[in-house]
Amino acid sequence: MGEQTARVRCVPAAPCWVSLMARDLETAKAFYGPLLGWEFVPGPDRWGPYLRAAVEGVEVAGIGVVAGDWQPPVAWTTYFGTESADTAAEGVRERGGTLGVGPLAFDAGRLVLAADPAGAAFGIWEGEPGDDSWTATPGAPVWIELRTGDPFAAALFYGEVFRWDGRDPSHFEVRYEHERVVLRSEGRSVAALHTAKDVAPHWEVFFSVADTDAAVRRATELGGRAAGGTTDTPYGRVARLADPEGGLFSVIGPAL
């Protein structure tokens, strides 16, 4: 990509970035590039090779490879913005969560990798502030959803860590709808906490696509697989997929 890409800014208390830790960078590029229309630009390589994926000139996601012999499961991590990584990290500790990495300086900000009391992993990012919301352009992340046994306990944890109740309601609000605790940022639903008893607690990333069924077929052609049925939801037509290395994510498009 020749032209300079625009960075997504840190939106406090809201999801602002997603990143995949893959085993092989070229395998990930060959799958996600054609599937989601991504172009790639080099990113910081402090912990190994890292690329940023861009859609229409806006960076929307990262893909990295863990350096050394450690091979954790391939997985997407969602990062929430914060004004202070130190304060958020202390909030995680005080409320029964676990800190895995940080706070530490990384690229143009500071980050933390953590897990909530139920074990769902997430990231914290302190960076250049802004009011930008995720773009709804196909290929960009538009929704994340916590699958957990007790979404109300989880909402208390995240709400206290990121001060959800203390935000300006004209820019940020939490509501209950469609059997989910839903976060809205700048007038758009961006995340939810939902009851799921049959899976390990985790944050699932949803990428926007123009046609969900076509995306499922394309993912299969590229070496991935369907990891569940395709269904219409109040938020759009959804399908869960696995990439060639087993990384799980979902796509969401217009309902039929």
- Per-residue pLDDT of 37-67, as tens digits, reads 999 998 877 767 889 999 988 889 999 986 6
Which pLDDT score is estimated for 146? 95
Q: Give pLDDT < 70 ranges for the chain.
A: 1-9, 47, 66-72, 129-135
Per-residue pLDDT at 247: 94
DSSP for residue 37: T
> What pLDDT shows up at residue 178?
84
| Distances 80 to 14, 19, 161, 226, 231 between C-alpha atoms, Å | 5, 12, 10, 28, 27
Residue in the block written with tokens 């302190």: 126
Beta-sheet strand order (sheet of 248-253): 172-177, 180-185, 188-195, 141-148, 202-208, 248-253, 236-242, 225-233
pLDDT at 35: 98
Q: Residue 135's pLDDT is what?
A: 67
Torsion on CA atoms 52, 55, 58, 62, rounded to nearest 10: -20
Distance CA 237, CA 255 (A): 5
pLDDT confidence of residue 89: 96
**pLDDT score recorded for residue 203:** 95
Which pLDDT score is estimated for 1? 35
Tell me what pLDDT residue 184 has: 83
- Fill in the amino acid letter for 227: A
Identity of the amino acid at 91: G
